[in-house]
Amino acid sequence: MVKNYRKQRLDELFWEEINSIIMYELSDPRVADIGVTMVDVAPDLTTARVFVTPFYEDVDTREVLAGLKAAHGFIRSQLAQRIKVRRMPELIFKIDRSYLEARRIDEILDSLPTTVENPTEKETPSD
């Protein structure tokens, strides 16, 4: 299988820049508590899927997407200044729920009892 190192580098570069823009340059309170988990740039640079995750469970994801849609033009213009590519891809924002699901599973596992029997100690019947 041939690995496309250029695409991997573009994914990482876009991730770094978009994450930086969202975390430090946007002042919209709707997008204050989110982080970018992954960016998937299409090989022909037409689109880039940006996966974001809220830091807290009580964040309204519809409001987050509305805030990102409102900031779409600003984010693209900042990317165009920082990344020199032939064509700046259209950004498609999606909610990544894997972080919240993993945290929920960790909470469930932490709530389980921690009694572990020692398998080396076998009970011997008393005569």
Q: Report the DSSP beta bridge partners of residue 49.
A: 40, 92
Contact in structure between 92 and 39 (CB atoms under 8 Å)? no
Flag whether 125 is in a domain: no
Q: Which of 6-15, 28-37, 96-105 is the least confident region?
A: 96-105
| This prediction's pTM | 0.75
Domain harbouring 62, CATH code: 3.30.300.20
Predicted pLDDT of residue 38: 93
Q: How many domains would you assign to the chain? A: 1
Predicted local distance difference test score (pLDDT) of residue 1: 45
Q: Is 122 part of any domain?
A: no
Q: Does residue 59 belong to any structural domain of this protein?
A: yes
Residue 117: inside a domain: no
| Residue at 85 is within a domain | yes
According to DSSP H, which parts of the chain are helical? 5-20, 61-70, 72-82, 98-111
The answer to whether residue 88 is domain-embedded is yes
pLDDT tens digit string along 10-29?
999 999 999 999 999 999 89
Look at residue 120 and tell me if it is in a domain. no
Residue 56 lies in a domain: yes
Q: What is the pLDDT of residues 67-102, one digit of tens each?
A: 999 999 999 999 999 998 888 999 999 998 777 777
For residue 26, the enclosing domain spans: 13-97
Q: β-strands 90-95, 47-54: how paired?
A: parallel
What tokens does 29 get? Answer: 């309170």
pLDDT for res 24: 92
Q: How far apart are CA 86 and CA 84, in angstroms?
A: 7
Q: Residue 105: pLDDT band by 50, 70, 90 thresholds?
A: confident
CA atoms within 13 A on the CB side of 3: 3
